[in-house]
Amino acid sequence: MSRICLFPGTFDPVTLGHTDIINRALPLFDKLIIGIGRNVNKQPMFSEQQRLDWLNEIYKNNPKVEAVAYDGLTVNCCKAVGANFILRGIRYVNDFEYEKAIADMNRSIADNIETIFLTCLPQYTSVASTLVRDVLKNGGDVSKFLPEAVTKTILAKK
């Protein structure tokens, strides 16, 4: 059985914090699927297609990585793509408490899917998409928080 992992999130935008977690998780899995969850309660700054394009560009040379968009429960996306693991990044202790509650709920819905937590490297602890969007909205330079493919697109739109 191959080890297929889903890394769910909004990735709005994709940050170096995201790519850090993805890159460090790659040796653990045979395939890593990045799942852009559609959240009806969130109005994204960047289109779903833009976020998919960024992920496809960043990982174009890595056949182990794929990006998809999905609706509904993350465990249902896992079933659809054949993933038996969910990957989540942890920055702070309160992230763990929140993520553990979700992991427990997912496990009670689908007991064959295991959640794996990776902690952020210290330099990415404060890199949250929400903060990056705030800096962007106020005209600040976000390039040090973003992969090159993302920075290029954002600078081209200015």
- Is 137 a known active-site residue? no
- Is 157 a known active-site residue? no
The one catalytic residue among 42, 47, 60, 126: 42
- Is 88 a known active-site residue? no
Distances (CA, A) of 108 to 7, 59, 82, 99, 114: 19, 32, 18, 14, 11
- Is 42 a known active-site residue? yes
Contacts from 53-61 at CB under 8 Å and sequence distance 24+? 54/11, 54/13, 54/14, 54/147, 54/149, 54/150, 54/153, 55/11, 55/14, 57/149, 58/14, 58/19, 58/147, 58/149, 58/150, 59/22, 59/34
The one catalytic residue among 31, 79, 91, 107: 91
- Give me the active site residues, please: 18, 42, 91, 129
